[in-house]
Amino acid sequence: MGQSSSISSPSPGSSQRFTGPAYKTEISTYNPEDRGIFGNIDYISEIPDECLAIIFQFLSSGDRKQCSLVSHRWLLVEGQSRHRLSLSAQSELLSNIPSLFARFDSVTKLVLRCERRSVSINDDALVLISFRCPNLIRLKLRGCRELTDVGMTAFAKNCKGLKKFSCGSCMFGVKGMNAVLGHCSSLEELSVKRLRGSNDGGATAELISPGAAASSLRTICLKELYNGQCFQPLITGCNNLKTLKLLRCLGDWDRVLEVIGNRKNCLVDVHLERLQVSDAGLIAISNFLDLEILHIVKTPECTDAGVIAVAERCKLLRKLHIDGWRTNRIGNEGLLSIARHSANLQELVLIGVNPTSISLGAIASNCMKLERLALCGSDTVADEEISCIALKCVALKKLCIKGCPVSDQGIEAFAWGCPNLVKIKVKKCREVTVEVADWLRARKGSLVVNLDLCEAEAEALDASVSDTGAQDDAGEVPPAVSRVTVADAPSSSIGRLSVFKSRFGLFGGRSLVPCTFRR
């Protein structure tokens, strides 16, 4: 680097760096043609491989691909430091597996996804992947319809350190699932969606047991399963289960919840959506004394009695989502019980429920930790109820009002109430105007006000209907009268199940009301 430059005085573009109290070194501005100062030294090549790998971790997948083209060394380091890989799992992948995983030999998280119209990988490809990725801890399979129980069994034997397994729209069955649970003793999360192979066998179908994962499983998520009851031994056999999500699965689930409730459990998060579950199931849930999060979504057989049982015993409840599906079976009585017993409530979402100022006022007064509130599709939430919330919800930070008969008068109340309010969202409330939103923003400068105009949405909807000739209004919540016919229902609950399916439909209209608080 030299002691000093050839110029006696610093140039305007030069910089001075003091390396000690005894002397001063002046470094001129870098000039690529000045070989006497820097020469041809490549400082990037002196970065250790470990540091280079850490840098790659902060880059996107596209940037990593570009960096791998810089040199053979960067190509090697990028491949060895990539732990997450997502592949198109078509049948052509089989011939590329050796070279692909020779480069990416440190993969621990793998996603194999195949499109619906394509032929997916088969058992040979999955087994070969298991040999190349013995340290795999996460696997997600989507649309791999050519995989069978044989391939899943061989994979489970080779990847025993698996911690998270998720599959959707696959054709392997109960034996393959039991193989994963039997060999992967460290499995913590299991997610199953539309497992086609589990439909075989009817009443004599083999059941899925927890196996070696009985003590390690923490999360189970089952979605859209026709024969979801075959998972009953798995759910009831996991003593350390903390999260249970059951969405759009056929069968009577009251018995499963009762078995769990009658023994010691540590469930914290329960999500029930489009299920045949009644107050008996909610009463069983009331025995989950550690419960903090509960979602009751479109379960028409649940009433105030079940909600009261949960509120009285589950004192740690923090998040509660209720979608009453406009059946009016959950109302003021259940909400008043929540107000009396759920002092730790932080998030409350009410969809298709008709509370009044009495129940909302009690919740606002007693639930002093309530920070997030959503009121959607309610015919009784008007200006009086909104003003009550504005007056009493001191800790409220986020509020969503959708499809309620609220006017400007109710929204104006937030100019003086809710001192901690950060964001308010109003959607499909016909009597709320832009003027009050602008006035509220000017009144409380730190408040974020999101207002969706119903008039603009109605005009766009009318235009789309006139162009396509559609008859249904996609913006409104239709009455729950869709009919679904499913054969070979379980004999133990055929009466309730047939009525349930004929009136409400398990798989129809999935996006009637979108989720209010998305993570």
Q: What per-residue confidence (pLDDT) applies to 101?
A: 94
Confidence at residue 281, expressed as pLDDT on a 0 to 100 scale: 97
Q: Which of 229, 239, 140, 235 is nearest to 191 (CA)?
A: 140
Q: Determine the average pLDDT of the residues in 318-344.
A: 96
Mean pLDDT value of segment 387-394: 94
In this prediction, residue 62 carries a pLDDT of 86
Alpha helices in 276-329, H assignment, sequence order: 279-285, 304-313
Least confident of 300-304, 360-364, 436-440, 472-476: 472-476
Distance of CA 321 to the CA centre of its chain: 14
In degrees, rounded to 5, the angle at the alpha carbon of residue 223 between the alpha carbons of residues 221 and 225 is: 120
pLDDT band at 474 (very low <50, low <70, confident <90, very high): very low
Report yes or no: 94 and 128 within 8 Å, Cβ to Cβ.
yes
Predicted confidence band at 490 (pLDDT cuts at 50, 70, 90)? very low
Does the pLDDT value for residue 481 go beyond 60? no
Mean pLDDT lowest among 206-215, 346-355, 387-396, 456-465: 456-465
> Is 70 exceeded by the pLDDT of residue 30?
no
For residue 317, what are its two tokens? 């409840």
Q: Residue 203: what pLDDT?
A: 52
Q: Give the phi and the psi of residue 440 in degrees, each rounded to 5.
A: -70, -40
Residue 253: the pLDDT is: 96
Given a cut of 60, whether residue 230 has pLDDT beyond it is yes
Q: Select from 485, 488, 476 the least CA-distant residue to 505.
A: 485
Residue 315 pLDDT > 50: yes
pLDDT at 479 > cutoff 60: no
Give the mean pLDDT of 142-147. 96
pLDDT value at 7 more than 50 = no
**pLDDT tens string 70-79:** 888 888 888 8
Range name among 135-149, 167-181, 200-214 with the lowest pLDDT average = 200-214
Distance CA 282, CA 75 (A): 56
Check whether 150 has a pLDDT greater than 50.
yes
Out of 143-157, 389-403, 477-491, which region has the weakest mean confidence (pLDDT)? Answer: 477-491
DSSP per-residue codes, 345-384: --EEEEES----HHHHHHHHHH-TT--EEEEES-SS--HH
Q: Is the pLDDT of residue 508 over 70?
A: no
51-65, 283-297, 374-388: which range is least confident on average? 51-65
Tell me how far apart the alpha carbons of residues 481 and 498 are, in angstroms, rounded to a whole number: 13
- In this predicted structure, which of 54-63, 426-435, 496-505 has the lowest mean pLDDT? 496-505
Identify the pLDDT of residue 36: 45
Spatial CA neighbour of 271 closest among 342, 223, 230 = 223
Per-residue pLDDT, averaged over 455-464, amounts to 44
- In angstroms, the CA 283 to CA 9 distance is 86
What is the percent of the chain with per-residue pLDDT over 90, rounded to a whole number?
67
Q: What's the pLDDT band for 57 if we cut at 50, 70, 90?
A: confident
Mean pLDDT, residues 177-192 taken together: 97
What single DSSP character describes residue 400?
E
pLDDT at 132: 94
Residue 496: pLDDT band (50, 70, 90) is: very low
Average pLDDT (167-195) is 96
Mean pLDDT of the chain: 83
pLDDT at 141: 97
Mean pLDDT along residues 91-109:
94
CA 260 – CA 266 distance, rounded (Å): 10
- Whether 267 shows a pLDDT value over 60: the answer reads yes
